[in-house]
Amino acid sequence: MTHQPAATSIPALAEPSVPVRGRWTAAVVLANVGVFAAFLGPIQVLLAKQSDVIAPGNKEFVFGLVTGIGAAVSVVANPVAGAVSDRTASRFGRRVPWVLGGALGGAAGLLVLSGASAVAVMVVGWCLVQLFCNALLAAITAAVPDRVPKVQRGVVGGWVALAQTIGALIGVGLATVVGGITVGYLACAVFLLLSVVPYVVASGDQRLPSKEPLVWREFLKSFWISPRKYPDFGWAWLTRFLLNVGNALGTLYLFFYLQDAVEYGDPDSGVLILTAVYSLCTILTAVWSGSWSDRTGKRKVFVTWAGVVMAAGALVLAIWPTWIAAIAGAVVLGIGFGVYLSVDFALLTEVLPSARDRAKDLGVINIANSLPQVIAPAIAAPVVKVLGGYPVLYTLAAAVTLAGAVLVRKVRSVA
């Protein structure tokens, strides 16, 4: 039997102790901004508009079908790409090949979408985006526990949280300002490619000294992380799942909410304005809350109250379907989401079972981000159509979010 060296004897697998510099953090954040712009520009605006053009009488179904199938791809793509990334022994490191390859493939998927005039082509294009961008996301997310010491993860997590918000703002901006549907997709593709350049060029990604032999049975079994053996990982997964279901229910149909419930005259611009307001509030809370969490050494209390605030924001949208209330809801949701993203990410990195499998384990966690995108359309479409409309939808979003906020208290190994 071949002797495998202990994880701590391999630099790439050791628990990091040297604080990362601002330049490295900026490169990681920019790559995250690019991938979330590629995700959220289409989800918030382009796919909805394209669905309306291709099937104006059945736009909700087409939009839900495309996003649901794409999310199903992401459920598999993220953990599998993460697991292979963990085993990559390239001379460029474990993460860089997947960051670069993911950006190239994601841009190709956006190009397919830019010329799509049928539902089937939309599905193919969006599945390519989800496949490759999730490979990129798995690698760039794992770079944080690879390189960042625990005492610095709250503040770095805050900056990474900003990436999702800034990516949403840039993606929606590219989708609405630069031109029509085709140009919007092309702009997202170009931005995605440019965003990964600093990390690819100067990541300092550490390489594995050798590649372990692949035993398929063990490889496939590794994707099941027993909640009985690792209960804190299980509770952290469930908490993130519930909070993301609530968030997906609240944001997935925002374009149609403005169009049909609020009756806002220009829903494109409305989504952009709300995204900007939401983003600003998230930016104002993400980094300082992550830094505060680092100083106090506490994570759970931040996540709990963030969930409560997010639930309150969803209730605002449920009770008052007006433009002013939509702005107020965006403010409240942004405040809560900024705290949640930064601190929950730090919490998750502290319950990972193995340093050797960081990207795979974070990929399993990411199922809690992706699976709600599959479930939410199946729940939201009948609720909007026949079960009470948008008031019921946003009340349900608030209830699910609140459940996640409460259950984070079950995590025992993190304060």
Of 9-18, 62-71, 176-185, 244-253, give the lowest mean pLDDT range.
9-18
pLDDT of residue 14: 67
Predicted pLDDT at 42: 93
pLDDT digits (tens, 9 = 90+) for 65-112: 998 899 889 888 988 998 888 888 888 888 999 999 999 999 999 999
Provide the b/e sequence for 8-40 (b: ≥16 CB within 10 Å). eebebbeebeeebeeebbebbbbbbbbbbbbbb
Buried b (16+ CB within 10 A) or exposed e, 302-320: bbbbbbebbbbbbbbbbee
pLDDT band at 370 (very low <50, low <70, confident <90, very high): confident
Give the pLDDT score at 5. 43
Q: For the segment 165-180, what is each residue's pLDDT rounded down to a tens digit? A: 788 889 988 988 887 8
Spatial separation of the C-alpha atoms in residues 90 and 294, rounded to whole Å? 34
Across residues 176-192, what is the average pLDDT? 92
pLDDT (average), residues 17-34: 90
Tell me if the pTM is above 0.85. no
Specify the range with the lowest mean pLDDT, choosing from 234-248, 252-266, 295-309, 354-368. Answer: 354-368
Confidence band for 140, pLDDT divided at 50, 70 and 90: very high
User: Mean pLDDT, the chain, as a whole number?
Assistant: 86
Give mean pLDDT, residues 209-228: 74
What pLDDT score does 213 carry? 66
The pLDDT tens digits for 36-66 are: 999 989 988 899 999 999 988 888 889 989 9
Give the whole-angstrom CA distance, residue 136 versus residue 139. Answer: 5
pLDDT at 344: 85
Is the per-residue pLDDT at 209 higher than 80? no
Per-residue model confidence (pLDDT) at position 114: 96
**Whole-number pLDDT of residue 328:** 94
Supply the CATH classification number for the domain 20-208+220-410. 1.20.1250.20
Question: Six-digit token pair at 293?
Answer: 């969490």
Distance CA 208, CA 191 (A): 30
pLDDT attached to residue 130: 95
**Span 217-242, average pLDDT:** 85
pLDDT over 90 (residue 121): yes
pLDDT of residue 3: 41
Calpha distance 60→66 (Å, rounded): 10
Could you tell me which residues come within 8 angstroms of residue 23 by beta carbon, excluding any fewer than 6 positions away?
202
